[in-house]
Structure 1
Amino acid sequence: MTPGTRIEHDAFGPVEVPAERYWGAQTQRALAVFTIGTEYFPPCLLHAFGLQKMAAARANLRCGALDAERADAIERAAAELSRGRFDADFPLTIWQTGSGTQTNMNANEVVANRANELLGQPRGGKSPVHPNDHVNASQSSNDSFPTVMHIAATLEIQQRLLPALAVLRDSLADRTQAFRGVVKIARTHLMDAVPMTVDQAFDAFTRQVDLGMERVAGTLPRLRVLPQGGTAAGTGLNAPPGFDTAFCEELSRLTATAFVPNPSKFEGMGVHDALVEASGALNTLASSLIKMANDLRLLGSGPRCGLGELRIPDDGLTSSIMPGKRNPTIAEVLVQAGLQVMGNHVTVTMANASGNFELNVAKPLLIHNLLQSIRVLADAVRVFALRLVAGLELNHERLAANVENALLAVTVLNPVLGYDRVAAIVREALASNRGPREAAVSLGLISAEDYDRHVDAAAMAAPHGLSALRQEPSGTSGRG
């Protein structure tokens, strides 16, 4: 035996395992087989396994499949797993059997070895707690791994993503209030349009986040439906009656989240449509956030040669060659996170389509991408809210100058002069490099006094503008 190792046995014989590690023979064999990549499951999935093994131990005790001593030891060991004690004892990458069998067995072995320690026995002996017979009692990797997928996704959305989005929504709402009534020029097709207010733009951003939160939260009822109890193929072979219900009740107590049994274990194990739905909501959210981040960095572009209507807070970073240059790095990070989520959604969609008959066999890849999407969005959103949005300020001078020089403010004269005469004002202003007021008066289409009475940018930015309020008396509009 190699120094620093212990001998464990599985169905194929003895295996040397590092003495200080809690994993066992099947994990060690898998390490030698799956020498692929460096992509590991995030800690939240490992901690979800701890919750799953705790709930299973409680349910097995209730159903008579485990005695109290073993159930208690398994629960205590699994609780440590759920709190992160054994993160370093999960050495396998996501590139493994498509059912996630190796990581489920990794969890079984870690919990069994720790449970035996708690009962005064050495690691590796499989007595009195056996990883398959006791920790995995009434379970299969085929129903346990997708159950863990659902647990991890649900808790990450509830505890990480939705709170981060709430911070962003509140930051945007605060800026909306702070910028209320400040007039700016809208842009369509990247070109000058008609007047609006800054708070109207930020209200749209706030609404985007609110709807994104609704879409994401709307996937949770399906994520909380678990296939646990289906065991190998969905029939529940070797699981006692009522195990699925007892499992969900115990898990709900552990997590303060209402998980329920899937009435069709075959659906819950063969396909993962609920996870694709969640990824789709993240994909929609990502596209929304990318648009928002790009708008803010363009509006803050400059400081001298860009749009410069917003002042983006300094992040303390600069260029490697241009001294003092400030860049909208936080917005760029959010854009990159959103692009990653979009790519992940393609992978999640294809992974879900890759099952055959009663089992999806791309589970590790699917959940790795989904959890990454949740994590990078949550982290990027929180940083974006706190380090960029919360510190945004307006460049009032630039905004006022843009409003003063805006050609398309004359759109409000359409009901007064007609479309063609207003178009003539715009052409003249552009050709002569004059403001629209001067051009309109020089063409003899309207007096300066009447122009000022009609072309009120702040009033135009109000809902419905002035079109229904300031009609010329009959016979004075100049229409032909």
Structure 2
Amino acid sequence: MNDYRTERDSMGDVHVPASAYYGAQTQRAVDNFPISGWRLPDAMISAMGMVKHACGVANRDLGKLTGSGMNPLNDVQVDAMLAAAEEIADGKLRDQFPVDVFQTGSGTSSNMNVNEVISNRAIEIAGGDRTLAEKAIHPNDHVNMGQSTNDTFPTAIHVATAVQIHTALIPALTRLHASLAAKAKAWDKVMKIGRTHLMDATPLRLGQEFGGFARQIELSIRRAEVARDAVLELPVGGTAVGSGINTHPEFGGRVADALAQRTGIAFVEAVNHFEANAQRDALVQTHGELKCIAQTLFNLSNNIRWLGSGPRCGFYEVQLPSRQPGSSIMPGKVNPVMCESLMQLAARVIGNDGVMTVSGAAGGNFQLNIMMPVMAHTVLESILLLSSGSNAFIEFCVDEMEANEESCNQAVEQSLSMCTSLNPLIGYSEAAKLAKEAFKTGQTIRELCLEKKILPEETLREALDPWKMTEPHE
């Protein structure tokens, strides 16, 4: 047993690895949940470190840690506890968080995992012996002071979610918008044919088409901001059921203020702690916005994939960058791999929304939702996929795309929908007859009109000017 030490919780002694900073409750969870091998995302662990640090500061400033209560700490121990929490917030000790995502539904196992790591690491920083069963800096009495898993774990989910949207997703979408807007400007004079129902339609400019794509992402940025702002209310201060038992009345507000100052995000204490503890509606709303962003990215990448199809037997109006060989049997084939990657991850995010919806609706009974670990994992996975997927799509696809003006131009004159501009001159019914006859004879609308002398040549030339068809005019 030299590789193990004994730790103790309310159920008794537990052997844990000698090198581990975590303790008995973490080890019990590791033993109880050998489920998936999935751990809580790093962003969640960092957020839990931030929350614990903010809670420690609030308790210190309120005189709770060094006061006359049970086992008061000295200033050195308080500083050590805050330093240990800061290490977790900064991404250190990541191997000390082994609890599976599919655990107790409140997240108690992970909350205690963090409490135990902070406790033992703080004892070490303060010069004590972390291997002792009796903890001078206790995971419950000190690290978890004024808290319950039921309010701090969802607080950490909100913090992690808002921070990742603010620092990763919104910047990625902003980059994507800028790249698409640049293409729209550069390609404003490239004429092409429009398509509705996958059928030939009237002309437009390639820049106009990409301007529409850019607007989609501009709106996605707004949706990401709504997603971030949906989780600004923090449950901390509600403790077990929302009543705030065993915590100072100012505690929740102080913690929210500290987290707001740290992150630059406008976190606030929950308006109603009973709602904030029990329900995860805000997270469901947040993910609903992420789902909408995902379907936008799916649509965008699929449209670009179609525009790049070819190079000889497709549209080939946009030349996509060649990233890798596309076939194990067809030499020289290159596929739109970045579009396909983005479509797949978007599909995953759309599927994740089902997990969030069910978890929010069915998991919140009375004073607690018991689906929080999987909700944390799911929403943070979606943000990561959307952020990293967008960045890769920009770098390896959008930035390097080129317009194929020849392919764009050559279909314009062939479109039977060119007859649309004749409606004001000869009427819809006569224009429809021309379209059908042109299709039957293989002629263009212009050729057939000239042959039949439908209109004076100058009038026809002006009416069938593709550029004029791309804008309203009197």
CA contact (8 A) 2:320 2:400 kept: yes
1:30 matched to 2:16? The reply is no
- In the other structure, the counterpart of 1:123 is 130
- In the other structure, the counterpart of 2:271 is 263
The structural deviation recorded for 1:93 is 1.1
Distance 1:100 1:317 in 2: 45
The structural deviation recorded for 1:203 is 0.8
1:110 matched to 2:86? The reply is no
Letter in 1 for 2:267: F
- In the other structure, the counterpart of 2:303 is 295
Percent of aligned positions with the same letter in both sequences?
A: 40
Find the partner of 1:406 among 393, 396, 415. Answer: 415
- In the other structure, the counterpart of 2:10 is 11
Distance 2:131 2:218 in 1: 51
- In the other structure, the counterpart of 1:377 is 386
- In the other structure, the counterpart of 1:60 is 59
1:106-163 CA deviation, whole Å, 9 max, x = no partner?
A: 0000000000001111224343200011000000000010000000001000011000
1:336 matched to 2:335? The reply is no
Q: Secondary structure at the match of 1:283?
A: helix
CA contact (8 A) 2:345 2:389 kept: yes
1:89 matched to 2:101? The reply is no
- In the other structure, the counterpart of 1:220 is 228
The structural deviation recorded for 1:387 is 1.2
Distance 1:271 1:51 in 2: 22
Unpaired runs of 5+ residues, structure 1, are 469-480
Distance 2:281 2:84 in 1: 32
Listed as ranges, the matches of 1:401-480 within 5 Å are 401-462=410-471, 464=472, 466=473, 468=474
1:366 matched to 2:375? The reply is yes
Distance 1:143 1:366 in 2: 15
The structural deviation recorded for 1:338 is 0.8
Letter in 2 for 1:373: S
Find the partner of 2:292 among 272, 277, 284. Answer: 284
CA contact (8 A) 2:318 2:403 kept: yes
1:80 matched to 2:87? The reply is yes
1:283-316 CA deviation, whole Å, 9 max, x = no partner?
A: 1111111111111000100001111111011113
Distance 1:124 1:267 in 2: 40
The structural deviation recorded for 1:378 is 0.4
Letter in 1 for 2:459: D
Distance 1:365 1:233 in 2: 21
After TM superposition, the structure 1 stretch with the greater mean CA deviation from structure 2, 63-72 or 376-385, is 63-72
Distance 1:139 1:39 in 2: 26
The structural deviation recorded for 1:447 is 4.1
- In the other structure, the counterpart of 2:143 is 135
- In the other structure, the counterpart of 2:41 is 42
Distance 2:91 2:228 in 1: 24
Distance 1:398 1:257 in 2: 48
CA contact (8 A) 1:70 1:134 kept: no
- In the other structure, the counterpart of 2:71 is none
Listed as ranges, the matches of 1:154-173 within 5 Å are 154-173=162-181
Distance 2:210 2:357 in 1: 33
Distance 1:141 1:386 in 2: 41
Find the partner of 1:100 among 94, 101, 107. Answer: 107
Task: Give the TM-score, by structure 1 length.
Answer: 0.95
Letter in 2 for 1:189: H
Distance 1:311 1:238 in 2: 64
Distance 1:251 1:180 in 2: 46
1:70 matched to 2:74? The reply is no
Letter in 2 for 1:155: V
Q: Secondary structure at the match of 1:186?
A: strand
Q: Secondary structure at the match of 2:193?
A: strand
Distance 2:131 2:360 in 1: 36
Letter in 1 for 2:42: P
Letter in 1 for 2:182: D
- In the other structure, the counterpart of 1:272 is 280
Letter in 2 for 1:381: S
Find the partner of 1:388 among 375, 391, 397. Answer: 397
Number of residue-to-residue matches in the alignment: 464
Distance 2:61 2:265 in 1: 20
- In the other structure, the counterpart of 1:238 is 246
1:325 matched to 2:333? The reply is yes
- In the other structure, the counterpart of 1:153 is 161
After TM superposition, the structure 1 stretch with the greater mean CA deviation from structure 2, 290-299 or 314-323, is 314-323
